[in-house]
Amino acid sequence: MKYLVVGGAGYIGSHMVKHLLSDGHEVVVADTVATAPDIEWVELDIADARALDRLFADYHFDAVFHFASHIQVGESVSDPGKYYQNNVAATLTLLEAMVRADIKHLVFSSTAAVYGDPQYVPIDEQHPKAPINPYGRSKWMVEQILEDFDRAYGLKSVRLRYFNAAGADPEGLLGECHEPETHLIPLILQAASGRRAAVTVFGHDYDTPDGTCIRDYVHVADLASAHALAVEYLLQGGASASFNLGNGLGFSVQEVIDAARAVTGRPIQVIETSRREGDPATLVADAQRAKKVLGWQPRFAGLEEIVGHAWNWERKYPWR
């Protein structure tokens, strides 16, 4: 198959590209940032309808994977325009270009943030959608737009609601590198490697056994395999649907730090501070639907493997 990966230079997108290429597919990456030199890359902003039309005139894609979005909750609160512009308006431009080019299949990166404060855990796909920040609202808006595009134009989509994407390529070729970094596991590992003096723990007074937040960490390679199954499902005529992607296992911030101490064998300095705004105490996925409908089976549910792969990456690139 021939696939377009929008945002294929990013953390999850780059793992997806590797997965698709190793399955023997043809891949073109559209991104504002360059990828590895051996990957076919089109420098493109999806807000640019003409550039999209040119791209779709040059290539016939069987499906599009859309990873390109802003992802920082805090920034979405202070600068919502940026989030609605990129995550919603630019995505709409992409979808309209797909309709013009008669591309009928899309796998879309959504998020557990569409649910807002959980009313129950584990969270299944029927859980009410009540996002509590512009980031989550932007993703939920696109999910609803996609339902309308299916009804009106027959554009079939799978929306994958990630819980906490984590880890790195098990072969060590790819990993996580955000600027600025805000995610827990890379920050802990930077404290372990000495790139950072300490990691800050946001809140010790949550209603959880050790008082720190519980999250469902899902390995980035398992996210990639879920996307590959999702596109096969669509190409075989599957109906548009949303799926949670998580392991169904919750680990506290303290447990992640303990796992990182065990994996790295290094002391990791911790600074305790107050809660970060908008963090629910516990987020854990019910991912039965993805397992049943897509046949998804995560390979890396253990925290040690997830943290271990991320640690390989952190150690491999001390220059970053």
Residue 161 within binding range of ligand UDP, rule CB under 6 A: no
Rounded CA gap, 62 and 64, in Å? 7
Residue 70 within binding range of ligand UDP, rule CB under 6 A: no
Q: Which of residues 24-63 bind ligand UDP (CB under 6 A)?
A: none
Residue 206 bears catalytic tag: no
Work out how close the CB of 48 gets to ligand UDP at its nearest, in angstroms, rounded to a whole number. Answer: 29
Where do we find the tokens 């109906």? 239
Stretch that binds ligand UDP, among 55-63, 83-91, 183-191, 238-246 (CB under 6 A): 183-191
Residue 282 within binding range of ligand UDP, rule CB under 6 A: no
DSSP secondary structure string for all residues of 156-178? EEEEEEESEEE---TTSS-----
Q: Using the minimum distance from each CB to ligand UDP, give the nearer residue, 28 or 287.
A: 287
Q: Which of residues 73-92 bind ligand UDP (CB under 6 A)?
A: 73
Residue 276 within binding range of ligand UDP, rule CB under 6 A: yes
CA-nearest of 244, 249, 251 to 296 is 244
Residue 223 within binding range of ligand UDP, rule CB under 6 A: no
124 contacts 244 by C-beta, under 8 angstroms: yes
101 contacts 93 by C-beta, under 8 angstroms: no
| 183, 196, 289, 320: which one binds ligand UDP (CB under 6 A) | 183
Catalytically annotated residue among 3, 11, 115, 135: 135
Residue 189 within binding range of ligand UDP, rule CB under 6 A: no
Residue 200 within binding range of ligand UDP, rule CB under 6 A: yes
Residue 200's DSSP bridge partners are: 271
252 contacts 283 by C-beta, under 8 angstroms: no
Q: How far apart are the first and last CA of the chain?
A: 35
| Coil/strand/helix, residue 65 | strand
Q: Which residues are catalytic?
A: 135
Residues that bind ligand UDP (CB under 6 A): 73, 164, 182-184, 187, 199-202, 213, 215, 253, 276, 279
